[in-house]
Amino acid sequence: MMRRSLIAGNWKMNGDRAMTAQWCARVARELGREYAADGVGKVAAAGGVADAGGAYFANANDDDAAEIAVCPPHILISAAVDALAGSCVGVGAQDLDANESGAFTGQTSARMLADGGCRYVIVGHSERRALYHESDQSAAQKAHTARAAGLCAILCVGETRAERDAGDTEKVLARQLDAFLDALCGDAPGYSAAPAGVVAYEPVWAIGSGRAATPQQAQAAHHFLRARIAARDARVAAQCRILYGGSVSGGNAAELLAQPDIDGALVGGASLKADDFLAICGAAS
Ligand code: 13P
CA–CA dist 90, 84 (Å, integer): 8
- Top pLDDT among 195 and 149 is at 149
Residue pair 109/100 in contact (Cβ under 8 Å)? The answer is yes
144 in catalytic set: no
Catalytic member of 34, 67, 125, 222: 125
Q: Given this model, what pLDDT does residue 192 score?
A: 66
Going by pLDDT thresholds of 50, 70 and 90, the confidence category of residue 52 is very low
Residue 45's pLDDT is what?
A: 35
Answer positive or negative: Cα dihedral of 161, 137, 192, 87: negative
Protein residue closest via CA to atom 7 of ligand 1 = 268
Q: What is the pTM of this model?
A: 0.90
Is 80 exceeded by the pLDDT of residue 238?
yes
130 C-beta closer than 6 A to ligand 1: no
| Region 62-74 average pLDDT | 87
> What number is the average pLDDT over the span 189-203?
83
248 lines ligand 1 (CB under 6 A): yes
Q: What is the dihedral of CA 253, 258, 261, 267, to 10 degrees?
A: 10
Chain segment 264-282, per-residue pLDDT in tens? 999 999 999 999 999 999 9
Residue 2 pLDDT: 81
| Mean pLDDT, rounded, for 53-67 | 49
79-135, pLDDT tens digit by residue? 999 999 989 999 999 999 999 999 999 999 999 999 999 999 999 999 999 999 999
Look at residue 4 in the predicted model and tell me its pLDDT: 95
CB 112 within 8 A of CB 77: no
Tell me: pLDDT of 183 over 90: no
Q: Is the CB of 266 under 6 A from ligand 1?
A: yes
CB 208 less than 6 A from any atom of ligand 1: yes
User: Nearest residue CA, atom 2 of ligand 1?
Assistant: 268
Quick check: 39 pLDDT over 80?
A: no
The pLDDT-based confidence of 195 (bands split at 50, 70, 90) is confident
Residue nearest to atom 1 of ligand 1 (CA): 268
3-state secondary structure at position 93: strand
Mean pLDDT, rounded, of the chain: 88
Give the ligand 1 atom nearest the CA of 249.
2
Q: What is the dihedral of CA 26, 27, 32, 37, to 10 degrees?
A: -140
Residue 189 confidence (pLDDT): 61
Active site residue 134: no
252 CB less than 6 Å from ligand 1?
A: no
Q: Pocket of ligand 1, candidates 207, 244, 273, 280: which has the most ligand atoms within 8 Å of its Cβ, to mutate?
A: 207
Q: Which residues pair with 97 in a beta bridge?
A: 109
Assess whether the C-beta atom of 269 lies below 6 angstroms from ligand 1.
yes
Residue 104 Ramachandran class (φ > 0 left, ψ -120 to 50 alpha, else beta): beta
More confident residue, 195 or 93: 93
Query: Which domains, and CATH codes, for the chain?
Result: 5-284 (3.20.20.70)
With pLDDT > 70 as the criterion, what percentage of the chain qualifies? 86
Residue 266 has what DSSP assignment?
E
Identify the pLDDT of residue 187. 63
Q: Ligand 1 centre and the CA of 208: distance in Å?
A: 6
- pLDDT of amino acid 40: 44
**What average pLDDT does the segment 153-175 reach?**
98
Which atom number of ligand 1 is nearest to the Cα of residue 209?
Answer: 4
Helices within the chain (DSSP H only): 17-31, 74-83, 110-115, 126-132, 136-148, 161-165, 169-185, 215-232, 234-239, 253-257, 274-284
Candidate list 159, 163, 202, 222, residue with the active-site label? 202
